[in-house]
């Protein structure tokens, strides 16, 4: 994610942001490659295609100058990822071509994003930035962003207790929403996780798991979030870079699940990272190690795919889940969470 404006310059008169179109792909890739140092065509091709298929889940804008694309912004609606209960727009990429930097193109794009958020009754923009990316941090500060309270955690797979050589790849932790009744205090022994995998039979997530996932989610949250879960499942199965989402079955019924993805491109990444979006374990099966079994199997599969790092976001108040991830080998990421109120 990059916006080399040197600050929040006022938009030049005549800038009229428009919806990003599939025909903009080549120009988007070229602008990004000039910033990132390498082309990420597959990532942008997926993102633009996703927006065409599910426009309600995406907000993508462009600004033209002199008849050519001068800059673009990609954002996605957050509904239930990372335990969210209120929707937000997640700023994933904002970039401006070198010839148009410093003219307010980035400001025009962000204003378009804010207007879109208000139109959808969304009160917050959220993003993540590398703490060493001083240029991006200056831009966020000048644009009115503030440091968020959510904790960005990551784990190098080789440093975790999970994913050892004696385990076999197939297809995560208990639910990450604040106030969940799940028990994260199970023993930390890898043998216990192996036994739990035998009990819960982790496997790759399928479209037939939606009903079971929605049932667990209702028990955990007290709300019907079928729409979000349907979108999340469709993306996990058909639109993400690499499928890694899992379900755990007990007596033939879904007892736990993890929705995760492996992609490169969000927040300026150029290397593949696994992102834990949402997880859940049926309260009827809490304390049985199902969450640990899912996390263990996820790490095994990611190691087989040569993915070296897993990242997630946890609410700062969720001390139980923070402790769970700490015991699993997670720690503070080099990336920081930022938020901007637009309501």
Query: Is 342 a member of any domain?
Result: no
Query: Is 340 a member of any domain?
Result: no
Do 223 and 275 lie in one domain? The reply is yes
Do 203 and 226 lie in one domain? The reply is yes
Token pair belonging to 113: 């994003």
Domain residues for the domain of 45 are: 18-147
Report pTM.
0.79
| C-beta separation of 71 from 42 below 8 A | no
Do 302 and 162 lie in one domain? The reply is yes
Query: What angle do helix axes 41-53 and 25-36 make, rounded to 10 degrees?
Result: 140
Q: Is the pLDDT of residue 236 over 90?
A: no
Do 143 and 159 lie in one domain? The reply is no
Do 125 and 190 lie in one domain? The reply is no
Low-confidence winner among 40-44, 68-72, 106-110, 331-335 (lowest mean pLDDT): 40-44
Do 162 and 190 lie in one domain? The reply is yes
Query: Is 341 a member of any domain?
Result: no
Length of the chain: 343
Residue located via tokens 């335990």:
83
pLDDT of residue 9: 63
* pLDDT tens, residue by residue, 162-194: 654 434 444 333 333 333 333 332 333 344 455
* pLDDT tens, residue by residue, 100-117: 998 999 999 999 999 999
Query: Is 240 a member of any domain?
Result: yes
How does DSSP classify residue 157?
G
Helix (H) or strand (E) holding 154: strand 151-156
Residue located via tokens 């930022």:
338
pLDDT of residue 80: 64
| Domain end among 147, 173, 191 | 147
Do 99 and 248 lie in one domain? The reply is no
SS3 call for 342: coil
Q: How many domains, the chain?
A: 2
| Domain end among 89, 121, 147 | 147
The three-state DSSP-derived secondary structure of 165-187 is: CCCCCCCCCCCCCCCCCCCCCCC
Count how many Cα atoms sit within 13 Å of the Cα of residue 16 in the half-sphere of its side chain: 3
Query: What angle do helix axes 190-200 and 290-304 make, rounded to 10 degrees?
Result: 100
Do 168 and 295 lie in one domain? The reply is yes
CA 101 to chain centre: 28
Domain of residue 220, CATH code: 3.40.630.30
Token pair belonging to 300: 């095994």
| C-beta separation of 174 from 281 below 8 A | yes
Do 141 and 158 lie in one domain? The reply is no
Query: Is 4 a member of any domain?
Result: no
| C-beta separation of 190 from 283 below 8 A | no
Do 206 and 167 lie in one domain? The reply is yes
Do 181 and 167 lie in one domain? The reply is yes
pLDDT of residue 91: 95
Query: Is 6 a member of any domain?
Result: no
pLDDT-based confidence at 262, cuts 50/70/90?
Answer: confident
Nearest partner of 202 among 259, 282, 257, 269, judged by Cα: 257
Do 304 and 174 lie in one domain? The reply is yes
Query: Is 339 a member of any domain?
Result: no
- CA distance linking residue 143 with residue 166, whole number of Å: 50
Query: Is 7 a member of any domain?
Result: no
The backbone torsions φ and ψ at residue 336, rounded to the nearest 5 degrees and listed phi first, read -115, 150
- CA distance linking residue 140 with residue 240, whole number of Å: 28
| Domain end among 147, 177, 200 | 147
């Amino acid at each position: 994610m990059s916006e080399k404006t040197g600050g929040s310059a006022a938009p030049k008169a005549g800038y009229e942001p428009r919806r990003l179109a599939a025909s903009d792909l080549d120009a988007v890739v070229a602008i990004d490659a000039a910033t990132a140092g390498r082309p990420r065509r597959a990532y942008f091709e997926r993102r633009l295609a996703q927006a065409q298929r599910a426009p309600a889940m995406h907000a993508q804008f462009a600004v033209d100058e002199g008849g050519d694309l001068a800059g673009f912004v990609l954002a996605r609606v957050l509904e239930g990822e990372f335990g969210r209960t209120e929707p937000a727009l997640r700023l994933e990429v904002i970039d401006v071509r070198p010839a148009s930097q410093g003219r307010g193109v980035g400001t025009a794009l962000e204003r378009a994003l804010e207007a879109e958020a208000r139109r959808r009754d969304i009160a917050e923009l959220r993003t993540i930035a590398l703490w060493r990316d001083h240029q991006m941090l200056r831009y966020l500060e000048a644009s009115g962003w503030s440091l968020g309270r959510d904790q960005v955690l990551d784990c190098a797979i080789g440093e975790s207790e999970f994913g050892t050589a004696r385990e076999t790849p197939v297809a995560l932790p208990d639910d990450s929403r604040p106030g969940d009744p799940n028990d994260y205090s199970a023993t930390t022994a890898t043998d216990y996780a192996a036994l739990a995998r035998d009990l819960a039979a982790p496997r790759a997530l399928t479209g037939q798991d939606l009903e079971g996932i929605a049932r667990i989610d209702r028990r955990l949250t007290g709300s019907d979030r079928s729409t979000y879960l349907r979108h999340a499942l469709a993306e996990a199965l058909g639109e993400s870079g690499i499928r890694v989402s899992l379900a755990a079955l007990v007596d033939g019924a879904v007892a736990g699940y993890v929705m995760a993805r492996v992609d490169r491109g969000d927040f300026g990444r150029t290397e593949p990272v696994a992102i834990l979006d949402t997880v859940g374990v049926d309260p009827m099966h809490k304390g049985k190690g199902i969450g640990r079994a899912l996390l263990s199997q996820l790490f095994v599969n990611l190691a087989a795919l040569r993915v070296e790092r897993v990242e997630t976001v946890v609410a700062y108040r969720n001390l139980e889940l923070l402790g769970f991830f700490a015991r699993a080998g997670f720690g503070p990421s080099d990336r920081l969470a930022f938020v901007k109120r637009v309501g």
